Structure 1
Amino acid sequence: MTSMTALDTPTLLLDYQKLLKNINEIASFAKEHNLSYRPHIKTHKSVDIAKLQLQAGAVGITTATIPEAEAMAAGGIKDILIAYPISSPQKIKRLIKLLQQGIKLKVMADSAEQLSYLQQELEHTPFTLEVWIKVNSGLNRCGVEPGRDALLLAEKIMSHSKLKLGGILTHAGHSYAASSCAEIERIGLREGKAVVESAEECEKAGIPIPVRSVGSTPTYKISGKVPGITEIRPGNAVFFDAIQAGLGVTTLENCALTVLASVSGVYPDRIVFDTGSKTLCLDKGAHGNETVKGFGHVVGHPEVTIERLSEEHGVGVVSGDTSLKLNDKVEIIPNHACTVANMFEEYVVHKGGNVIGGWKVE
């Protein structure tokens, strides 16, 4: 059996036991609170991991892009939500191909104009497409405003012969910029209420809303408890990372994804690793999070801070003494697991430090 320390670097490592623990924690929360679980696979982009999530009770998956949906469909996954507004005719034709494969497809919508494009492309097909309304719960990215605007869009969906309304969703991604657990709590409650209040507005008008869905790893255990919510869509929680640990959502010990790196240079005032921006990414959180220190946590070496990155070099500064020397290998917990996984083609899966397989990053 190969020890992971015998691998070349940089290598994307995945701790199998921590992965299963993280998946089961989400699934247990969903079961306890009578929620459906539809994980966002943009974190891992792996059919193998998605199938583990389905085995744990997930009702389907969420993707951010059509290529992600196509890859998951090719891997045998049949129930897919694309949580991104799609309006270009080129992209809609790809949606139709997924429908032709028998995929139970859902898409997100937040404008009447987008609905018109969907209707136009679907009119000459035998298919009806399920559409979920995106409401803005504070991220101020995509989405209609909760309440009356959601009702108006719901009425538009109902007026189109080739569209059917399946649910209302939101994503509180601004929770990644929270400065305290109390702020995460406030964001999570607002997230849940934005969806529930919008659904209630629709149902008062006689439009049923079967699914009320929330996401965001920092908030799903808060928004998921709001009465009326029926589904959670956390993504990052499958792995966790240094940002989530910095937010207080988890601990570094629960982070399943690491990068195996080598010391490629030792100098009087710095240590250089073979993991630069093309490996660790220049990411401290897309929404301004300031809780992380440096560009990744060097496991077992708190004296080292990766202070700067060039493309193939991670430059660490040392506070005090260190035992690290040339060719030593270390694990680095990335700041943002989603972007780092996106840089690799394969996970090297290990258990107790021994390699047990390789899973493709589709």
Structure 2
Amino acid sequence: MATYEYYKEIFAEVPRPFALVDLDMLDDNARAIAGAAGGKRVRLASKSIRSVDVLSRILASSPIYQGIMCYTAAETAFLAEHGFDDLLLGYPQWQPEAIRTLMNRVSEGRSITLMVDSVEHVEHVEQLARQEGTVMPLCIDLDMSVQYPGLHFGVWRSPVHSWEGMYPIVEQIIHSPWLSLDGIMGYEAQVAGVGDNAAGKYLKNKTVRWLKRRSIVEAAKRRKEVVERLMAMDLRLRFVNAGGTGSMESSREEAWVTEITAGSGFYAPGLFDHYASFRYQPAAAYAVEVVRFPKAGIVTCMGGGYTASGTANADKLVKPYLPSGLELFALEGAGEVQTPLRLPAHVELNLGDPVFFRHAKAGELCERFKVLHAVSQGRIVGEYATYRGMGACFL
């Protein structure tokens, strides 16, 4: 683990605010995730990384890493222009011009797969593919959420819950000369993206772990059924995609799964502190500077309020990182232009000193900064451009 003095010395001459990626920790995380995959391929989730340089570094680190899961058509085209291939769009797209752009890339020999979860999606893509004269690969999104009385455990994604819901979509694809069924995806978000080791929440943690165990069994059952049904139709998929960083331990056990998606674990943001089954190193952070002393034991920093998306809960706030022991104020949190912090007794800060924070989520940090200052072995070794730094903004 890095210390405050370590980073303070490295960044003594760098103007605040700035963001950093610790390459030593990033590389350690990449090795750990590759090992956790259990021999499965790992597809990188670009939304959790949002840097061409970081994507390239991870892909080059191990043959386990193959392909990228993108989040918009425009981002997919952007990555294709920068030399990336085997691009799977994780979410359905509708804008005709954006889809046509990707079809042009496919006609040039790029491997790009669109996501669908309805007959309407398929008909829309088919019409565009016919117009462009391009055979378009598709992936069907299989819902992995589970229902209990009064509880929907999971996220609202695909309406396809079973083979019965998938079959009409499969039929529509295989009977079109302009489409091909490339793969299926089932993302068990309630396993991969929900922490189960939050401090002081014993009953909640225990309940979440029980729900996760039930979800893992149900996810495996659904994926197995659709794969077996497709094989019975003599359909061979290029990939069966599963999970996320938080569910690798279970996804890797499914024989029919060929690849697992991972993204957040490479940076290991604040929300990843609340998992019982794994722990990765905090490879990404940002710094703001102390500009005020409102009273003894309190400092106020300039800026810093980079709240994460999702439910508006306290766990989406940034986490004071270094020096250790700093606390946000419940009535202010992290602010747009200033962030007050309560100091522990053992910490002294001066005006102009940096304070390091970790974002609650992973790639969203990159939307606030043009570069990530790359650190290794006690020094800055480069600047890794974010999407923003390359003039790109997709969502």
What TM-score, normalized to structure 1? 0.89
CA distance in 2, matches of 1:71, 1:306: 40
CA distance in 1, matches of 2:227, 2:313: 31
Residue in structure 2 matched with residue 247 of structure 1 by the alignment? 275
Q: 1:302 aligns with which of 318, 321, 325?
A: 325
Identity score, percent: 19
Instruction: Confirm whether residue 170 of structure 1 aligns to residue 195 of structure 2.
Output: no
Superposed displacement of residue 331, structure 1: 1.9
What are the Cα deviations for residues 203-244 of structure 1, in whole angstroms up to 9, with x where unaligned? 234433342111322112222222321110111111111101
Give the gaps of 5 or more residues in structure 1: none
Map 1:160-309 onto structure 2 (within 5 A).
Answer: 160-175=176-191, 176-179=193-196, 180=205, 182=209, 183-248=211-276, 250-251=278-279, 254-268=281-295, 270-277=298-305, 281-283=306-308, 286=310, 292=315, 295-305=318-328, 307=330, 308-309=333-334
Residue in structure 1 matched with residue 383 of structure 2 by the alignment? 358
Map 1:1-362 onto structure 2 (within 5 A).
Answer: 3-30=10-37, 33-55=38-60, 56-57=62-63, 58-138=65-145, 139-143=154-158, 144-175=160-191, 176-179=193-196, 180=205, 182=209, 183-248=211-276, 250-251=278-279, 254-268=281-295, 270-277=298-305, 281-283=306-308, 286=310, 292=315, 295-305=318-328, 307=330, 308-318=333-343, 320=345, 322-362=347-387
**Secondary structure at the residue paired with 1:316?**
strand
CA distance in 1, matches of 2:121, 2:110: 21
CA contact (8 A) 1:189 1:223 kept: no
What are the Cα deviations for residues 292-344 of structure 1, in whole angstroms up to 9, with x where unaligned? 49521322321433641321222223455631232111221221122112222
CA distance in 2, matches of 1:120, 1:84: 19
CA distance in 2, matches of 1:71, 1:151: 33
Structure 1 pair 297–193 and aligned structure 2 pair: CA distance change class (3 A): farther
What are the Cα deviations for residues 3-29 of structure 1, in whole angstroms up to 9, with x where unaligned? 223211111100011111111222233
CA contact (8 A) 1:189 1:222 kept: no
CA contact (8 A) 2:288 2:301 kept: yes
Superposed displacement of residue 287, structure 1: 5.4
Give the gaps of 5 or more residues in structure 2: 1-8, 146-153, 197-204, 388-395
Structure 1 pair 254–116 and aligned structure 2 pair: CA distance change class (3 A): same
Structure 1 pair 289–204 and aligned structure 2 pair: CA distance change class (3 A): farther
CA distance in 2, matches of 1:82, 1:293: 26
CA distance in 2, matches of 1:189, 1:219: 12
RMSD: 2.4
More displaced stretch, 77-86 vs 140-149: 140-149
Structure 1 ranges of 4+ moved more than 6 A: none
CA distance in 2, matches of 1:15, 1:306: 28
More displaced stretch, 297-306 vs 99-108: 297-306
Superposed displacement of residue 151, structure 1: 2.5
Superposed displacement of residue 40, structure 1: 0.8
CA distance in 1, matches of 2:266, 2:168: 36
Q: Which amino acid aligns with 1:92?
A: I
Q: Which amino acid aligns with 1:314?
A: T
CA contact (8 A) 2:271 2:360 kept: yes
Q: How many residues align?
A: 353
CA contact (8 A) 2:122 2:169 kept: no
Superposed displacement of residue 288, structure 1: 7.1
